Amino acid sequence: MFRRTKVIDGTATGQDPAAENVREVGIKKKSSVPGVMITQYIEELPEGKSHPDFTRKPIALTIQEGKFAFFKAIVIGDPQPTVTWDRNNGDVSDTSRYQTKYDPNTNEHTFEMPNVMPDQADTYKCFAKNEYGQAIVTVVLNVIAVGFKKNKAQPEPAEAPGGNFKSVLKRRSKILPASEQPERKEGEIDPKFWEILISSDKKDYESICAEFGVTDFRWMLKTLNEMKKEREEEQAEFVSSLSNLRHIRVNSDNTASFELDMDLIEPSTSLYLYKDGVMVPYTKELGDSMKHSLKLVGKKYIFSVRDLMPDDAGLYQLDVGDVNVFSTDFKVPPVDFLVKIQEVKATEREDAVFECVLSNPFSKILWFGKNLPLEQGDKYDIQVSEDKLIHKLVVKDCLIVDKGIYSACAGIKSCNAWLVVEADKDAQKGKKAARKTTRAGGSGMDLQKVAQEQQTKLAKDREERKEQIKAASVAPPPAPTAAEPEATKELSDVSEPAAVVEVATAEPRITGKLSDICVLRGNPAELTVEMSMDCSGTWFKDGEPLNSGAGVTTTKSGTRHKLRIQSCKDDDSGVYRFVSGDQSTQAKVTVGGAPEFDPDDLYKFSKPVIIRVGQNAAFKMPFPPQGNLEVRWFRDGTEIKDGGGVKIAREPNHSRLLLRDCLRTDAGEIKIQLKNPFGAMEATSRLIVLDRPGPPEGPVETVETTSSLIEIKWSPPKDDGGSAVTNYIIERQQAGQALWTKLGDVSADKTSIRDRNVTHGKKYSYRICAQNPEGLSDALETADSIMAGIMILSGPPGAPAVVSASKTCINLTWTPPEDDRGVPIIGYQLEKRKKDTNLWIALNALNEPIEDVKYAVKEVTEGAEYEFRVSAINESGAGDPSPPSAMACAKNPNMRPCFKDPEDFIVVRAGNSARVKVCYEGEPPPQITWLKDDEPISPWINVINTEGTSQLVIPSSKRSDSAIYTIKAKNSMGEASFDIEVRVTDEPKAPGPVELEQSVTGKVVVSWAPSPDQELDDRLYYVVSQRDSATRSWKNVADRLFANTHTVNNILPGVQYHFRIFAKNDMGLSDPSQSPTWGANSNRVPIPSKGLKSSGVSFERPPSILVPLKVHAPPKGYQLYMTCAVRGCPTPTVSWYLDDVCINFDKDYYITNSFGVCSIYILRVRSKDSGVYKVVAVNSFGQAQCSTKLAVRD
C-alpha cells in the first residue's frame, strides 16, 4: 500500500517559473534505476498510460577545463514526457554555454556544455514530466582547472560529493608541465630522471642513465636509495602494500595500459593521474567514451589509455593523496607499417609465416596471438632482418587450435590478420598427421626490395637534414628590419647597467661541441668546434696542451677551430679538449681496427653444409679475441635469434651456430657478422637441406584424348628438394575403381606421357610423383577424370511398369533400351516425381547403378502418388530417360481382416496386469471389438489400438477375470474373429491330511483331502512323491492326478516309506502335505515276549569316508573336479579346507553334497590354488576326514 504525501516542487530558481509551488497530493513510486525519484499524481493510472521514468540516467563526470562535457538520459512514459535540465547554483538559459538536444531515433536527451569552464562545476538535475507524474534525477559535474594565472582570481569550484573539490583543483604534480618548467642549468638533471628511476627495475638503471646522460653510477645509487627511503615513508601514510609494478605498454586493441597491485589503508583515498605534470581526467564508468580509464580487479589497479595518438607520449604518474606511488614513461616511436601482415591459410602440421615491413628501423615489435603476447620459443620463431625493417613471425607445426587473429604492434601502430588452419585431408583417420616441411603465408611481395628502397629513402632524409643543419649554422645573420632603428634608439637611451648587459651577451660561446669518435688505424681524424664569434682557443690531449706537428694539425677559420690527425695510431687515442676563455668542450678519440678473419678459417667456413631434413646443422667461425665485439648470425639477410630450434654460442675466440631438426625452409645463405666501433666483417656460407622434391606443378593438362589414347603433361616442381629430379612416376586409376596401377615413369627432362591402354568411353584419373635421390614427392592428381574418346550415351529404356504397391513399397519393372549405341550398359538410374510437383529425384547415384530391370522403391510416403522414369548407364554416363510410368499410389490393396500368429491361451498370476496382444492385417483398417465370454468387456479393462496391433490390458487381474476373450476385426471386405483363453490363477494351497491304508500285500493306498483351490481351478492336479529308508531320496511316483487317491505298488516289508502330496497348476507347485511313516513294524500286532527281552535296531553311526580324495596335478588355466564319498547317521556336516583355511563360502569354488557324494569344482585353476585340500565330516557321534595335495603346473 502506497502512502499519500504532499509533494513540493523541487524546481530551482529560474526553472519553470509558471509552475505552482505546491502540487496536488501525489504518490511516491520506486524506479528500477537507482537514484531516480518518481512522483505519481493519481492513484490509478488509465489503461495503457504511465508516469515518466528513466531507463538510462546521466552519469557523473570529471573533465578537464576547455573540453566538451555532456550528459545523456533516456526517458519513457505515456504520454511522452517533457524533459528539462537545471543546476543547483546557477542558470542554464545561456544557449552559448548550455544546449539541449533530443534524438528521436535513439530516444536520447542530451545536455551539452561546449568548452566547459570551472564555474560550471555543480550538481545538475534532469526533470521528466507528463500529466500523470514526474521523475527527477541528479548528477554531479567536476571540472579540473588548468593554466592558473597570477593576475586572475580563480572561480570557486562546485562542491564535490564526499569532499571539497577545491583542493583537487589546487593539486599539482612534482613534475611541472613543459610550459612551466624553468630553464635548466648546464649539468642539472631532469626531475623526470628520478621519478622514472624510483619506479623501475635495477636491470633498467643503465639504459635510463644513458638516456639522461648520467655517468656517475655510485652517486646515482646513493641518491636514489635516499629518495626511495623518503618516498616509502611518505607512501606509508596512505598505502599498506605496493607490488607488481608493470610499466606502460601497448596492447593489441590499440590501447596502452600500466598496472600495479596496491592495498590502500583507507579505500576512499583519492587517486590522481598526471601526464607530464598535468592532471588528466579518468573514469571508472565511461571506459568506452573517455580517453583514460581505471579498472579495479581485487587489489590490482589497471589504468588504460585508448585511441592512441602520438601526443599520448609522456610521463604518466599516479598519486595517492599527496604522494606519488608510480611513474612510467610512455614513448611513441615514429614508425608505421609499409607492408602489413596478411591472412595465412595453412594445412595442419605446416608452418605459418606472418611478415611485415616498417618505415623506420625497430629492434623489436610486439606480436600477439588471440590477444595474448607471443615470445620466442619452441612454438613461435620471431625474426628480425639486419636492417631491422623486416619482421617475421613463424608459427611452427600449426594445429587446429592455433587458428585465430594474430597482431603485430610497433609503437602505437598495429595490424592484424587471420590464421586459418585446415585439416590434413591426406592424414589417416584416427592418426596424427605427419609433420610437413612446407611453409604457408608470407606477404606475397619482395620484402627485401621494399626494405632497400626504404633504407635508401631514410639515408637520403638524413643527408638532407644534415645539409639543412649545416646551412643554418653558416647562414649570415638576418637583415635588420624596419623596427631595428627604433630599437637602436632605445638602446642609446638606456642607462649604464643596460650597457653592462650588452657586454655580457657579447662573450664567445660554443655553438658546435665536440663528440666522441672511433677511427681506424691509418685513417685521418678531424675534430671541429664551432664558436659564436671569432676568438682564439687552445687544444689539449689528456690534459696536456697540443700544438701542430708530429702528424697533428690545428687550424682556425673564422669561428671554426679544427684539429686534424693525419694518420691515426694507437697512441693517438685519448681525451681531446678545446678551451676558449671559460668555455670548453671535450671528446674521446679511440683508435683501433676492424674485425678480421683468418683466411684459412674463412675458406673452411665458405664451404656449404649439406644435411638431410630432420638433421642438425652446425656452423663454427673462429676469430681473434677483441673487446666491444658484436657477433650476429643471419640467414638470407634475416637475423637469427637464439631460442627454439636455434642455439647460438659465443666464446672469446669463436662463435657457433646450431640449427636443430632442419626443414627445407631453413636452407639458404648463412652469414656471420663481426662488428665493433671501427667497422664490420662478414663471412658467408650456405646451408643445403636435402629432402624429397615437392609435387610437380599443376594443373595436369590434357594434350590429346581419343578412343585409344590419352596424352597428359605437367610442369616440374618448384622445389627439387636440394638435388635434381631424376624421373617422374605416373599412376592411373579407372573411374569407379579404388586401385591405382603404375602406368610407367619418364625421365626428368620429359614432362608428358601417352597412355595407349584405354577403353573408349571410360574415364581415368592420373597422378604424377617426382623422384630424386632422397625419395618420392607428394602426388599431383588430375582435377577431373579424363574420358577416352567422346561421350556416347545409351538410348531410353522402356517405361517402368508398376508390379505392386503398398503403403511402404512400390515394385517396378522395365525393359532394356532398344538401342544401346554400341556401348555396353552397366546399369540403370531410377527417378521419381511426386504428383503436382516438377522435381525429379534420383533414387540411386550414377556410381551405384541398378543392375537388374526391376526395383522396389521404399522411399515413399503413405497415400502419395508417384510416377517413375529410368535411364540406362554406360561408361559415358546416364543416357536419355524413359517415358514416365503411370501414377502409382503408395497404399495397401484392399483385403479381408486376418490375424497374424495369435496365442489362444494365456496364464496370468493373480494381482499382475494381464496383457493380450494381437496383430492383424486388413485394408481399409478394420474396426476392432473385444468380448468377454461373448459379452462386452468391463469398463476397467483397457483396449489400446495402434496400426496393425490391438492390445487388451487388465490392470490388476483377479481370478474372476479368467474367461474366453474374443477379438473381432471388421471392414468393408469382411470380418474375422479369434478366441483367447485367459487364465488368472495363483500358486495352489497345500492338500489336506494324508492317510495310508494297505488292502493287499505289497500295495498301499494313499488318500488325501483336496486342496482348497481345487474348486477354483479346473486345471489343478496332484503329484505324489515317495522316499524309503533304503534310498533316502525323494522320487515322484504319480503325476497329473485329478483324483484324491493313489495306490502305490511294490511296497516291501521291513522298509520304511514316507509320502508327500503336492497340488500343482499353471503357476507351479504348492507346499507338500506329509504322510505318516509307513514301515515294517508300523502295522504289526504286538507279540508277547513271554519274559524274553528284545533290543531294537539302530541306524545311527559316526561319519566314515567311503571313497577318499585323489591326488591331482592339472595345468594352469584348466578346470578341476575333485570328489569323495561320506556316510553317517544322522547325516554329517561336510567342510572343505585349503591349507587349514575353510573355503566353504569362497566364491572361487563351487562345492556340492549330494547324498554323501561331496564335490568341489574349480573353473580355471591358478597358482594360488595349489596346496593341501581336506574334507572333514562331523555329526553328533564323531568325525572323519581325508586329504590330498593339489599341484598346479605352469
Q: What is the pLDDT of residue 241?
A: 85
Q: What is the pLDDT of residue 65?
A: 86
What's the rounded Cα separation, in Å, for the pair 785 and 876? 11
Strands 974-985, 905-909: pairing is parallel
pLDDT digits over 485-541, tens only?
A: 443 333 334 333 333 333 334 578 888 888 888 888 888 999 899 888 888 888 888
| pLDDT surpassing 90 at residue 765 | yes
Q: What is the pLDDT of residue 812?
A: 94
Mean pLDDT of the chain: 83
Q: Which residue has the higher pLDDT, 435 or 770?
A: 770
- H or E element in which residue 193 lies: helix 191-198
Kindly state the percentage of the chain with pLDDT values over 70. 89
| pLDDT surpassing 60 at residue 15 | no
Q: What is the pLDDT of residue 810?
A: 93
What's the rounded Cα separation, in Å, for the pair 437 and 423? 16
The DSSP bridge partners found for residue 690 are 612
Nearest residue to 1134 via CA among 1100, 1165, 1110, 1160? 1160
Strand ranges in 605-726 using DSSP code E only, listed in sequence order: 609-612, 617-622, 630-635, 638-639, 646-651, 654-659, 668-676, 679-690, 697-705, 710-715
- Residue type at 1153 in one-letter notation: N
Q: For residue 182, what is its C-alpha cell?
A: 624553468
What's the rounded Cα separation, in Å, for the pair 1105 and 1085? 40
Give 86's Cβ-side CA count (13 Å radius). Answer: 16
Average pLDDT over residues 849-855: 93
Q: For residue 194, what is its C-alpha cell?
A: 628520478
Strands 583-592, 517-520: pairing is parallel
pLDDT digits over 693-751, tens only?
A: 989 998 999 998 887 899 999 999 988 888 899 999 999 999 888 899 999 999 999 99
Q: What is the pLDDT of residue 177?
A: 66
| pLDDT surpassing 90 at residue 90 | no
Classify 1183 as helix, strand or coil. Answer: strand
| pLDDT surpassing 90 at residue 811 | yes
Q: What is the pLDDT of residue 1101?
A: 87
Q: What is the pLDDT of residue 169?
A: 38
| pLDDT surpassing 90 at residue 207 | no
Q: What is the pLDDT of residue 843?
A: 92
Listed in sequence order, the residues at least 6 apart from 1122 whose beta carbon sits closer than 8 Å to its beta carbon are: 1109, 1110, 1112, 1159, 1160, 1173, 1188, 1190
Nearest residue to 561 via CA among 603, 590, 533? 533
What is the DSSP code (8-state) at residue 414? E
pLDDT digits over 976-999, tens only?
A: 999 999 988 888 889 999 998 887
pLDDT band at 6 (very low <50, low <70, confident <90, very high): very low
Nearest residue to 1003 via CA among 1040, 1036, 1046? 1046
Average pLDDT over residues 782-803: 88
Listed in sequence order, the residues at least 6 apart from 441 whose beta carbon sits closer than 8 Å to its beta carbon are: 342, 344, 345, 346, 352, 353, 354, 355
Kindly state the percentage of the chain with pLDDT values over 90. 27
Ranges 374-378, 1027-1031, 1088-1092: which has the least confidence? 1088-1092
What's the rounded Cα separation, in Å, for the pair 1023 and 1037? 8
Q: What is the pLDDT of residue 175?
A: 67
Q: What is the pLDDT of residue 823?
A: 81
Ranges 7-21, 25-39, 185-199: which has the least confidence? 7-21
Average pLDDT over residues 22-26: 48
pLDDT band at 1194 (very low <50, low <70, confident <90, very high): confident
Nearest residue to 976 via CA among 912, 1015, 919, 1024? 919
pLDDT digits over 219-228, tens only?
A: 888 888 888 8
Nearest residue to 613 via CA among 398, 780, 396, 774? 774
Peptide bond before residue 79 is cis, with ω within 30 degrees of 0: yes
pLDDT band at 554 (very low <50, low <70, confident <90, very high): confident
Q: What is the pLDDT of residue 17?
A: 36
Residues 1190, 1126 contacting (CB under 8 angstroms): no
| pLDDT surpassing 50 at residue 769 | yes
Q: Which residue has the higher pLDDT, 628 or 1165?
A: 1165
In whole angstroms, how far apart are CA 590 and each of 516, 568, 574, 674, 789? 8, 9, 7, 18, 84
In whole angstroms, how far apart are CA 749 and each of 715, 745, 746, 780? 10, 12, 8, 17
Convert 534-589 into a string of H (helix), E (strand) and C (coil). Answer: CCCCEEEECCEEECCECCEEEEEECCEEEEEECCCCHHHCEEEEEEECCEEEEEEE
Q: What is the pLDDT of residue 725?
A: 92
pLDDT band at 170 (very low <50, low <70, confident <90, very high): very low
Q: What is the pLDDT of residue 85?
A: 92
Residues 73, 53 contacting (CB under 8 angstroms): no
What's the rounded Cα separation, in Å, for the pair 1158 and 1142? 15
Q: For residue 1085, what is its C-alpha cell?
A: 500286532
Ranges 13-17, 307-311, 398-402, 1153-1157: which has the least confidence? 13-17
pLDDT digits over 897-920, tens only?
A: 999 888 888 888 888 888 999 999
Q: What is the pLDDT of residue 1091?
A: 54
What's the rounded Cα separation, in Å, for the pair 352 and 381? 10
pLDDT digits over 237-276, tens only?
A: 888 888 888 888 888 777 888 898 888 888 777 888 888 8
| pLDDT surpassing 60 at residue 570 | yes
Average pLDDT over residues 1174-1189: 92
Q: For residue 996, what is its C-alpha cell?
A: 495310508
Q: Using only the alpha carbons of the chain, give its radius of gyration.
A: 55
| pLDDT surpassing 80 at residue 1025 | yes
| pLDDT surpassing 90 at residue 882 | yes
Residue where the block lists cell 542558470: 91
With b meaning 16 or more CB within 10 Å and e meaning fewer, what string describes 406-442? bbbbbbbbbbbbebebeeeeeeeeeeebeebbebbbe
pLDDT band at 153 (very low <50, low <70, confident <90, very high): very low
Residues 344, 418 contacting (CB under 8 angstroms): yes
